[in-house]
Amino acid sequence: MESARFRAQEWFVNPDLVRVSSACDRRFGRVLGATAVALALAELGRTPSRVLDVGCGHGEVLDILRRQLPAAELVGVDPAAAAVAATRDRFALDHRVTVLEAGAEDLGPAGAGAQAGQFDLALVHLTLALWPDPVDGLCAVLDRLAPGGLCYVLELLRPADEVALAACLAPATGPAEARYVREQLALWPSREEAAALVAAVGRRSGRSARLLFRGFAELAVMSEVDSAATPNVWHVFLS
């Protein structure tokens, strides 16, 4: 498992692989990211003043947030130095965006999270499977919420059959992107594993958790394969 996680994380560290992963994330991840932002804001029911994007990568979700929330302060965190540098460059002219080099698990009371303060909304989008300890990491993120705050997580499910696998691979434009997706999906949880993880976070944090499973088509995400019968996505509202 550790070697699979190392291999999957290399796509965000090694410059040759970063070129492939960032192109794929810009197209596919961005569509899913727009859905994630819309669902999170609808659930929150008010305009957040401060938003945390955990595992921000090259800033696709931060960019969507910048456009939709013109007055909000935005903080991205990511442990990959290359992603942090690229995202800082990307938003160098926007004083509302801060990017910290840190993993979710570093967002403890004395860590990067303390420096960043509290948040009305925290987003975790297509990153959780890479975290060394997702329960620890999510509890650390929840510690950074302001009273009444919401943490919204949207992640992919390990394909349960050939239809679900085809739906995941459909957006890949060539063999390199297909390899990127395959090395990521080795880490994605099954439905049962996702449910166990969310239950553990609920128990440890005392927060309420609403977990849902969806197909790409139901979330209006681009894929030629309608996988509603065998969901590709799990998302959870933690408040």
Site residues for ligand SAM per CB under 6 A? 9, 12, 25, 29, 33, 54-57, 60-61, 78-80, 83, 103-105, 125-127, 130-131, 137
Contact 238, 150 (CB under 8 A): yes
CA dist., res. 117 & res. 113, Å (int): 6
Rounded to 5 degrees, what angle do the CA atoms 121, 81, 94 make? 50
Residues 23 and 177: beta-carbon distance below 8 Å:
yes
Shortest Å distance, C-beta 28 to ligand SAM: 9
CB nearer ligand SAM, residue 54 or residue 219: 54
Nearer to ligand SAM by Cβ, of 72 and 122: the residue is: 122
**Residue whose CB is less far from ligand SAM, 21 or 227:** 21
Phi, psi of 84 (to 5 degrees): -65, -45
- Taking the least distance from each CB to ligand SAM, the nearer of 46 and 121 is 121
Shortest CB 186 distance to ligand SAM, Å: 14
Phi, psi angles (nearest 5°) of residue 73: -90, 135
Closest approach of ligand SAM to the CB of residue 130, in Å: 4
List CB contacts of 3: < 8 A, sequence separation 6 or more: none
Of 134, 143, 120, 101, the residue nearest 43 (C-alpha)? 120
* Residue 11 near residue 20, CB atoms below 8 Å: yes
Q: What are phi and psi of 43, to 5 degrees?
A: -70, -40
Nearest Cα neighbor of 146 from 226, 49, 80, 65 is 49
Nearer to ligand SAM, 130 or 164 (CB): 130
Smallest gap, in angstroms, from Cβ of residue 194 to ligand SAM? 17
Q: Which residue is nearest to ligand SAM (CB)?
A: 57
Q: Which is nearer to ligand SAM, 142 or 162 (CB)?
A: 142
